[in-house]
Structure 1
């Protein structure tokens, strides 16, 4: 009778050397932050000599998918139909079956809804269960349901986690509060692909992009990038602008991102509708514009004059790091704490989370800077991003952590 455990010989190639096979889980294979970090780490694992298989949920119907990128770099991709079904006890069984077929040496859970099934599957196979904790935790539903989800998640994570890789000290604090021992946690900030930010924009492209975004030559063009979701705080940004006619007249805020599509949860659809209605009621149609999904965000950032990020919670914001790499002066909330090596007022302007007044003050500070001062702040932010937040170097560190766990 099978015990469900992998035969150790499955981990060895013909020559007798151990060949580690890392299995990652990704419920929603879109192109948002967690998926992009998983891709960057998968590349690093491949560079380190591991084989990698991605077990993923259904392709998103309302957004581009990242599965082709994984396949292109040499990752085996396997769809798992039950990953779309929350709290299905068969989900862990399915993951364990696919992971065993791959000869998994460990299982890495990426999305919050992946993690408990991934850990259970790892325990069934007798291999390490590793978590990429990319974000602060939120549990949705009526209060009793959300409390139950949180309790089950916390107990499972505390009992089954071999290593939790957390994107900030704020995130690690949550993981420790869930009961994971300190020595099973490590902080590793998110990283970005720096290559798109190295070359200068071609002649004329900056003005063409600004024209596409509807930029007013008499206003400062400020981008905000992120899916339209309560987490990202776009409603707080709109509130900040609605109560500040001086900002509304001098800024052109373009929100890049989508959300609220037919496959999105009802709460997301309602949020997007209410966000558009807030802009209309406040008379901010000339100040706030929605650009939808764009796949040329690095170029858009380099064509803008600044960046604002009003998120309520984050793990470690990729959008903020990308804006810095593009040389933008950035106003962003302190929801995930201060980034490593960051100097407020030099590399950007950090404001209190969830406070429209603090966000207004930060935007006024940006407006008070002359063009040369904004350029200096953007240049300092760019050095910070290029020195400390490249995904290749951070991915190599992640691969080292995984390799050490396997040994």
Structure 2
């Protein structure tokens, strides 16, 4: 495919297969389909080898390793990025991960082209308090002054951006979308095998949770919900995910170790299993009774993992950390818990336990219909391309 609409550069500090990278791929695919050339400037591939780069190559994007994105404060990173944009006659630079957005914006400014941010999450700045404060000030000073457009996954994220100084007319909300897969049909023996593999016993309500093991994702809150007296219901939770293999590896490894200690100390060995990274999440969802999400904060009101579970017809429980999703009706399309509140999460799980199988199936079916009608990847991609075209046209006028 030859791009005639112009050349787009996208930065992606962590080219793994988690939500941010997958949405970057979706936007990149939409841009390629609209006739843009695309160069992805990325950080180092995760040590575990899970990489989105072959998928970018498959859509005809050029991929360029820029290892300095791993620690994006080197003095030559921005000039070199800007030189690449000028050499390619780039029209816009799109920053995806929080740690690559500053260099993306500064390089765009130096190259004289718009800088666009894909803001998929609420912001957190890690490190000792003085270091975190310095990171915060530096980040927001650049973002407020240099952002041509911030594409935000929810009103909560947009409000965070405007409160930090991004002009309101430069921040828009675009909820994520997904490519709805065909339904997974499992024969009885295969379903039983997968349930046993996930640790469920006969009679258990099997819940799946998908996400990296991280404080943000709140698996500790889920364990606290399960451990609340008087006694846990017949519930088994299968945790699907691993620790961060990049910059936050030590922090997430410590968090994961604390989860294992909690399971042991609170007597949850028979109620929780750790599955690690899985490539067959669709099959796990088909074998499960429901999906549960416990994150402390997210960007989208419907995180990708929740949307994928709903699209699979799996009734979902998730927190209200980014507000109520558009078109979503609690109790009809899924169940919402208060963010950061294990007691609220436990009540929603108890509601699932109290439902009959047909009631849970009906809840899952309504959730799947919501995703098919309002959260498709095609619609999201078209809207993103329109936003980029507008930014490029305004810059050239």
Residue 241, structure 1, aligned to residue 226, structure 2: yes
Q: Write the mapping of 1:194-233 to structure 2, written as runs, cut at 5 A.
A: 194-195=180-181, 197-201=182-186, 204-233=189-218
| Conservation of the 8 A alpha-carbon contact between 2:204 and 2:235 | yes
Match of 2:346 among 360, 363, 378: 360
Secondary structure in 2 aligned to 1:331?
A: strand
Distance 2:382 2:331 in 1: 31
Q: Which residue of 2 aligns with 1:345?
A: 331
Secondary structure in 2 aligned to 1:252?
A: strand
1:272-303 CA-partner distances (Å, limit 9, x unpaired): 11111111111101101000000111221122
Deviation at 1:262, TM superposition (A): 8.2
Residue 90, structure 1, aligned to residue 76, structure 2: yes
Q: Which residue of 2 aligns with 1:309?
A: 293
Q: Which residue of 1 aligns with 2:362?
A: 376
Match of 1:283 among 267, 283, 292: 267
Aligned length, in residue pairs: 390
Q: Which residue of 1 aligns with 2:152?
A: 166
Match of 2:282 among 284, 298, 301: 298
Q: 1:65 to 1:175 in 2, by over 3 A?
A: same
Distance 1:242 1:90 in 2: 51
Distance 1:353 1:105 in 2: 40
Secondary structure in 2 aligned to 1:186?
A: strand
1:33-73 CA-partner distances (Å, limit 9, x unpaired): 00000001111001111111100000100351110111011
Q: 1:113 to 1:367 in 2, by over 3 A?
A: same
Distance 1:325 1:55 in 2: 32
Please tell me the root mean square deviation across aligned C-alpha atoms, in Å: 1.7
Match of 1:37 among 2, 7, 23: 23
* Bigger mean CA offset, 258-267 vs 66-75: 258-267
* Bigger mean CA offset, 90-99 vs 386-395: 90-99
| Conservation of the 8 A alpha-carbon contact between 2:7 and 2:37 | yes
Q: 1:245 to 1:301 in 2, by over 3 A?
A: farther
Q: Write the mapping of 1:118-267 to structure 2, written as runs, cut at 5 A.
A: 118-195=104-181, 197-201=182-186, 204-244=189-229, 246-247=231-232, 249-259=233-243, 264-267=248-251
Q: Which residue of 2 aligns with 1:6?
A: none
Distance 1:322 1:405 in 2: 30
Q: 1:263 to 1:144 in 2, by over 3 A?
A: closer
Residue 386, structure 1, aligned to residue 372, structure 2: yes
Give unmatched runs, 5+ long, in structure 1: 1-12
Deviation at 1:182, TM superposition (A): 0.8
Distance 1:308 1:403 in 2: 38
Secondary structure in 2 aligned to 1:164?
A: strand
1:130-166 CA-partner distances (Å, limit 9, x unpaired): 0000000000111111111111111111100000000
| Conservation of the 8 A alpha-carbon contact between 1:28 and 1:58 | yes
Distance 1:161 1:262 in 2: 26
| Conservation of the 8 A alpha-carbon contact between 2:53 and 2:63 | yes
Q: 1:297 to 1:245 in 2, by over 3 A?
A: farther
Deviation at 1:97, TM superposition (A): 2.6
TM-score, with length taken from structure 2: 0.94
Secondary structure in 2 aligned to 1:239?
A: helix
Deviation at 1:209, TM superposition (A): 2.1
Deviation at 1:387, TM superposition (A): 1.0
Distance 1:203 1:396 in 2: 40
TM-score, with length taken from structure 1: 0.92
Secondary structure in 2 aligned to 1:246?
A: coil
1:113-135 CA-partner distances (Å, limit 9, x unpaired): 01010000000110010000000
Q: 1:353 to 1:242 in 2, by over 3 A?
A: same
Distance 1:364 1:218 in 2: 15
Distance 1:401 1:253 in 2: 40
1:379-404 CA-partner distances (Å, limit 9, x unpaired): 00000111111112101110111011
